[in-house]
Amino acid sequence: MKGDPVPRDGYPLPEELTRHAPGERFAPDGLRAACRSAGEGLGAEDARAARFRSAAEMVELWRGLDLPAWISPYALRDARLGYLGGYERTLVSGDLSHDDTASAARARWGERWRQKLEAALRRTANTP
Protein backbone atom coordinates (compact mmCIF):
# COMPACT_ATOMS: atom_id res chain seq x y z
CA MET A 1 0.00 0.00 0.00
CA LYS A 2 1.03 3.54 -0.59
CA GLY A 3 1.22 4.41 3.11
CA ASP A 4 3.46 1.45 4.06
CA PRO A 5 6.78 2.78 5.26
CA VAL A 6 9.87 1.19 3.76
CA PRO A 7 12.53 0.57 6.38
CA ARG A 8 15.58 2.74 5.77
CA ASP A 9 17.85 -0.29 5.64
CA GLY A 10 15.49 -2.45 3.56
CA TYR A 11 13.88 -5.82 4.15
CA PRO A 12 15.68 -8.96 5.37
CA LEU A 13 15.62 -12.40 3.81
CA PRO A 14 15.04 -15.47 5.97
CA GLU A 15 18.25 -16.75 7.53
CA GLU A 16 18.49 -19.86 5.32
CA LEU A 17 18.20 -17.73 2.19
CA THR A 18 20.46 -14.92 3.40
CA ARG A 19 23.57 -17.08 3.22
CA HIS A 20 22.94 -17.48 -0.53
CA ALA A 21 22.31 -13.78 -1.20
CA PRO A 22 24.85 -11.01 -1.82
CA GLY A 23 23.60 -9.00 1.16
CA GLU A 24 21.35 -9.26 4.18
CA ARG A 25 18.77 -6.53 3.52
CA PHE A 26 17.17 -5.38 0.29
CA ALA A 27 15.10 -2.47 -0.92
CA PRO A 28 11.66 -3.50 -2.22
CA ASP A 29 12.64 -3.25 -5.89
CA GLY A 30 15.66 -5.51 -5.38
CA LEU A 31 14.02 -7.96 -3.00
CA ARG A 32 12.45 -10.16 -5.64
CA ALA A 33 15.70 -10.62 -7.56
CA ALA A 34 17.54 -11.35 -4.31
CA CYS A 35 14.85 -13.90 -3.36
CA ARG A 36 15.15 -15.70 -6.66
CA SER A 37 18.94 -15.76 -6.52
CA ALA A 38 18.99 -16.94 -2.91
CA GLY A 39 16.33 -19.55 -3.69
CA GLU A 40 18.50 -20.91 -6.50
CA GLY A 41 21.40 -21.29 -4.08
CA LEU A 42 19.27 -23.04 -1.48
CA GLY A 43 17.74 -25.32 -4.13
CA ALA A 44 21.18 -26.28 -5.44
CA GLU A 45 22.39 -26.95 -1.88
CA ASP A 46 19.36 -29.12 -1.12
CA ALA A 47 19.75 -31.08 -4.38
CA ARG A 48 23.33 -31.93 -3.41
CA ALA A 49 21.99 -33.22 -0.08
CA ALA A 50 19.15 -35.17 -1.78
CA ARG A 51 16.62 -33.12 0.18
CA PHE A 52 13.62 -31.31 -1.28
CA ARG A 53 11.59 -28.64 0.51
CA SER A 54 7.87 -28.47 -0.05
CA ALA A 55 6.14 -25.17 -0.73
CA ALA A 56 4.89 -25.23 2.87
CA GLU A 57 8.48 -25.50 4.12
CA MET A 58 9.51 -22.54 1.96
CA VAL A 59 6.63 -20.48 3.35
CA GLU A 60 7.70 -21.47 6.86
CA LEU A 61 11.09 -19.85 6.21
CA TRP A 62 9.30 -16.50 6.03
CA ARG A 63 7.27 -16.86 9.22
CA GLY A 64 7.90 -13.92 11.51
CA LEU A 65 9.43 -11.65 8.89
CA ASP A 66 7.75 -8.29 8.64
CA LEU A 67 7.12 -7.79 4.93
CA PRO A 68 4.23 -5.66 3.69
CA ALA A 69 1.33 -7.45 2.00
CA TRP A 70 2.20 -5.96 -1.39
CA ILE A 71 5.67 -7.57 -1.30
CA SER A 72 5.25 -10.87 0.56
CA PRO A 73 3.53 -13.05 -2.06
CA TYR A 74 5.89 -11.97 -4.83
CA ALA A 75 8.99 -12.43 -2.72
CA LEU A 76 7.81 -15.90 -1.71
CA ARG A 77 6.97 -16.83 -5.29
CA ASP A 78 10.34 -15.69 -6.57
CA ALA A 79 12.20 -17.54 -3.83
CA ARG A 80 10.23 -20.70 -4.66
CA LEU A 81 10.79 -20.38 -8.41
CA GLY A 82 14.48 -19.83 -7.78
CA TYR A 83 14.55 -22.85 -5.49
CA LEU A 84 12.93 -25.11 -8.09
CA GLY A 85 15.24 -23.80 -10.82
CA GLY A 86 18.38 -24.22 -8.73
CA TYR A 87 17.38 -27.72 -7.71
CA GLU A 88 16.65 -28.81 -11.28
CA ARG A 89 19.80 -27.20 -12.71
CA THR A 90 21.87 -29.11 -10.17
CA LEU A 91 20.15 -32.39 -11.10
CA VAL A 92 20.89 -31.98 -14.80
CA SER A 93 24.33 -30.39 -14.42
CA GLY A 94 26.26 -33.65 -14.43
CA ASP A 95 28.11 -32.52 -11.30
CA LEU A 96 26.43 -35.16 -9.12
CA SER A 97 27.16 -38.86 -9.27
CA HIS A 98 24.52 -41.09 -10.82
CA ASP A 99 23.45 -42.34 -7.37
CA ASP A 100 23.31 -38.81 -5.91
CA THR A 101 21.28 -37.59 -8.89
CA ALA A 102 18.86 -40.51 -8.50
CA SER A 103 18.46 -39.83 -4.75
CA ALA A 104 17.87 -36.12 -5.28
CA ALA A 105 15.46 -36.72 -8.17
CA ARG A 106 13.54 -39.23 -6.04
CA ALA A 107 13.32 -36.67 -3.23
CA ARG A 108 12.01 -34.09 -5.71
CA TRP A 109 9.61 -36.14 -7.82
CA GLY A 110 8.87 -39.37 -5.96
CA GLU A 111 8.01 -42.54 -7.88
CA ARG A 112 7.99 -40.87 -11.31
CA TRP A 113 11.46 -39.40 -10.84
CA ARG A 114 12.99 -41.16 -13.87
CA GLN A 115 10.47 -39.72 -16.32
CA LYS A 116 10.67 -36.25 -14.74
CA LEU A 117 14.47 -36.29 -14.79
CA GLU A 118 14.49 -37.36 -18.45
CA ALA A 119 12.14 -34.48 -19.28
CA ALA A 120 14.39 -32.04 -17.42
CA LEU A 121 17.42 -33.36 -19.31
CA ARG A 122 15.57 -32.93 -22.64
CA ARG A 123 14.64 -29.34 -21.72
CA THR A 124 18.27 -28.62 -20.91
CA ALA A 125 19.45 -30.18 -24.19
CA ASN A 126 17.00 -27.97 -26.13
CA THR A 127 18.10 -24.77 -24.40
CA PRO A 128 20.63 -22.76 -26.42
Q: Give how many domains the chain has, as a whole number.
A: 1
How many Å apart are CA 47 and CA 27, to the nearest integer? 29
4 in a domain, yes or no?
no
Look at residue 6 and tell me if it is in a domain: no
Query: Mean pLDDT of all residues in the chain?
Result: 90
Q: Is residue 82 part of a domain?
A: yes
121 pLDDT more than 70: yes
- Residue 128: band (very low, low, confident or very high) from pLDDT cuts 50, 70, 90: low
Looking at 20-24, 45-49, 91-95, which range is the least confident one? 20-24
Q: What is the DSSP letter of 8?
A: T
Residue 19 confidence (pLDDT) above 70: yes
Nearest residue to 28 via CA among 74, 64, 60: 74
- Confidence check: pLDDT of 16 > 50: yes
Does any domain span residue 3?
no
Task: Give dist(CA 16, CA 60) in Å, integer.
Answer: 11
Residue 1 lies in a domain: no
| Contact of 27 with 45, CB cutoff 8 Å | no
Single-letter amino acid, residue 115: Q
Domain that holds residue 119: 12-125
